[in-house]
Amino acid sequence: MSSLPTTDRSAVLSLQTSDDEIALRDAVRGVVSTYGHSYFQERSRTGEPMQELWDSLGKLGFLGLNIPEEYGGQGAGLTELAVVLEEMSGGGCPELAMVLSQGIVGSILPLHASEEQKRRYLPAIADGSEKFVFAMTEPDAGSNSHKVTTTAVRDGSDWVVKGTKYYISGIDHADHFLLVAKTGTDEQTGRGELTLFIVDDPKPAGMHTQIIPTALRAPERQFTLFFDEMRLPADCVVGEVGRGLSPLFDGLNPERVLSAVICTGVGTYALNKATEYARTRRVWGPPIGSHQGVAHPLAEASIELEAARTMIWRAAALFDAGLPAGTESNMAKFLASKAGMKALDTAIQTHGGNGLAEEYGLADLWSIVRLQQIAPVSTQMVLNHYAQHTLKLPRTY
């Protein structure tokens, strides 16, 4: 544990990789390599969590890097957590659970939860013994979080929740979930006032779940959650009632950064395989990598991955420094989701027919990288945000 990083937050972004980061990357890579991509493939087939890998990383303190020390974490930051997930993905084991539990909930609770909530939940997130998932998306609201219609209404000392959430990943693996619900309407804007709730029991009375069959190859399955008068105690509200939007974004920006490192990690994994293959595979005599038609796309994909990574570390550093990180987190996810897709596709092409073989472990990663252009926020919604807030163009929707 002595080699865990102690980032100097006064330097917002270091231009050189620190010794601590190198040590962290080496340590995570070592753990992940003992499992390998076939482990991810097997858990994707069965729908069981990658629990052994998770526990191994938890024992080394790598699941609590962004959690403050006083609540059982390492007190480092999103940057270090993102390094862990990038290395997991780079070893062929991308982990959505980390995006949800450490990334979203592990970022929101230290900033907005009550002292009692922090003491109850953060140590368990930090050591990985308990996992959170996250329930925001709804069938009729989708990309528009202002249109959330799942409502929580006060009844005595309880809240009563009615509504539906969909595409909620991994609820069957979760110990708790963070729920976004509407508790009122802003009279001036007509928009819903949102509140965040911790649902302690992942199978509460008044909620039933239905699996959504999807093409996603990952250990996490997706579910629709139906709430029919689910009762929650008053002390499960995180932050202020009706003011959940700003705390929510303290979780959604890390979610974007972590979604981005899944793409750069998988992209790096794929390019490593492809360059090795291109160096050794011969069909006309010289290795296929000696043909520019093979080499240039690999070089281009690698350059684009590196460019995306630059934006990722910038976004993470801004977040860790407590500075506004929304635009950079969006840009990082935008660039990485495209660069990761291109790297993976180029690697598949480099492998010819073997690119689709299970044994080569490439094509089965397509869906998890492709997903990052749809969720957590779609490519178009990133462009909408950038056009409106950075380019100051009129809102088009």
Ligand X SMILES: Cc1cc2nc3c(=O)[nH]c(=O)nc-3n(C[C@H](O)[C@H](O)[C@H](O)COP(=O)(O)OP(=O)(O)OC[C@H]3O[C@@H](n4cnc5c(N)ncnc54)[C@H](O)[C@@H]3O)c2cc1C
Q: Is 216 in the site for ligand X (CB under 6 A)?
A: yes
Residue type, 333: K
Q: Is 196 in the site for ligand X (CB under 6 A)?
A: no
- The binder of ligand X chosen from 57, 65, 105, 136 (CB under 6 A): 136
Query: In terms of Cα–Cα distance, which of 132, 106, 102 is closest to 199?
Result: 132
Q: Is 167 in the site for ligand X (CB under 6 A)?
A: yes
Q: Is 274 in the site for ligand X (CB under 6 A)?
A: no
Q: Is 260 in the site for ligand X (CB under 6 A)?
A: no
The count of other CB atoms within 10 Å of the CB of residue 16 is 6
Query: In terms of Cα–Cα distance, which of 91, 93, 71, 73 is closest to 81?
Result: 73
Placement of tokens 């105690």 in the chain: 233
Number of residues that bind ligand X (CB under 6 A): 23
**8-16, 18-26, 45-53, 129-137 -> range binding ligand X (CB under 6 A):** 129-137
- With 0-12 / 13-18 / 19 or more C-beta atoms within 10 angstroms meaning exposed / middle / buried, residue 396 is exposed
Q: Is 149 in the site for ligand X (CB under 6 A)?
A: no
DSSP for residue 216: -
Q: Is 387 in the site for ligand X (CB under 6 A)?
A: no
- The binder of ligand X chosen from 380, 389, 390, 393 (CB under 6 A): 380
Distance of CA 74 to the CA centre of its chain: 19
Q: For ligand X, which is the closer residue by CB, 32 or 248?
A: 248
What single string gives the DSSP state of each residue in 279-346? HH-BSSSSBGGGSHHHHHHHHHHHHHHHHHHHHHHHHHHHHHTTS--HHHHHHHHHHHHHHHHHHHHH
Q: Is 381 in the site for ligand X (CB under 6 A)?
A: yes
Whether residue 94 is preceded by a cis peptide bond, meaning omega within 30 degrees of 0, is no
Looking only at the bridges linking them, the beta strands covering 207-212 and 158-169 are unpaired
**12-20, 75-83, 161-169, 330-338 -> range binding ligand X (CB under 6 A):** 161-169
Q: Provide, rounded to whole angstroms, the least separation between the CB of residue 235 and ligand X.
A: 23
Q: Is 233 in the site for ligand X (CB under 6 A)?
A: no
Binding mask 84-113 for ligand X (x = CB under 6 A): ----------------x-------------
**67-75, 167-175, 185-193, 248-256 -> range binding ligand X (CB under 6 A):** 167-175
Helix axes 326-350, 379-389, angle to 10 degrees: 140
CA 113 to CA 235: how far, in whole Å?
A: 10
Q: For ligand X, which is the closer residue by CB, 284 or 397?
A: 397
Q: Is 27 in the site for ligand X (CB under 6 A)?
A: no
Q: Is 375 in the site for ligand X (CB under 6 A)?
A: yes
DSSP for residue 355: G
**57-65, 165-173, 182-190, 312-320 -> range binding ligand X (CB under 6 A):** 165-173
- The binder of ligand X chosen from 137, 259, 329, 330 (CB under 6 A): 137
Q: For ligand X, which is the closer residue by CB, 137 or 195?
A: 137
Q: For ligand X, which is the closer residue by CB, 302 or 330?
A: 330
Q: Provide, rounded to whole angstroms, the least separation between the CB of residue 87 and ligand X.
A: 22
DSSP for residue 200: S
Q: Which helix (H) or strand (E) holds 386?
A: helix 379-389
Contact residues for ligand X, defined by CB under 6 A: 100, 133-137, 142-143, 167-169, 214, 216, 222, 371, 374-376, 378, 380-381, 384, 397
